[in-house]
Amino acid sequence: MKELLDMFLTFARIGGLTFGGGYAMLPMLQKEVVEKREWATNEELMDYYAIGQCTPGIIAVNTATFIGNKVKGVIGGVVATLGVVFPSLVIITLITAFISNFAHLAVVQNAFAGIRVCVFILILNAVVKLGKTSIKDAVTLGIFLVVLIGSLFLDWSPIIFVLFAGVVGILAQVLLKKEGRK
């Protein structure tokens, strides 16, 4: 029970202190889930993010569910999911009650502009950290570059990019094994 409470509180803190969506949550997930509690590795976190982006729902919720399920089974998945959404439900309820009264104020608009810049930097930092552990060889560098360029210039669903990367990864492993490199 203590572990489930810790999981709920951990994901509630992550959910309550992250602004900007699932990608902005990545730095906190790395610190809390990978580094501090060791509930997942960086590679597993990347896998959960990729799957979370391809499945229906919110990336952050899907990722929390995957991690909770890995650590404590179905009940862990439920607890982690409840933890990550609980602060948002409370905050959104409070904001919707008052936002129409304050949204037009310059100080509120400027605060949101500052928060957006901060979220961008946090996401960039997480991408750099995960890139260091994900780009391991020429094949993964090639996949990275193709997906980066493709996502910049093509208006395709992320599912297509993830499927492409998965297929190329599988094919590369098969070909490398045939050649005796791995």
Q: For 140-165, write each residue's pLDDT tens digit.
A: 999 999 999 999 999 999 889 999 99
- Spell out the domain ranges in the chain: 2-105
Query: How far apart are the C-alpha atoms of 66 and 54, rounded to whole Å?
Result: 13
Per-residue pLDDT tens, the chain, 182 aa: give them. Answer: 899 999 999 999 988 887 666 677 888 888 999 999 999 998 899 888 888 877 887 888 899 999 999 999 999 999 999 999 999 899 889 888 888 788 888 998 898 899 889 888 888 888 888 888 889 899 999 999 999 999 999 999 988 999 999 999 999 999 888 877 65
Planar angle of CA 168, 171, 172, nearest 5 degrees? 80
Q: What distance in Å separates the CA atoms of residue 144 and residue 105, rounded to the nearest whole number?
A: 42
116's CB contacts (< 8 A; 6+ apart) are 20
Cα Rg, the chain, nearest whole Å = 19
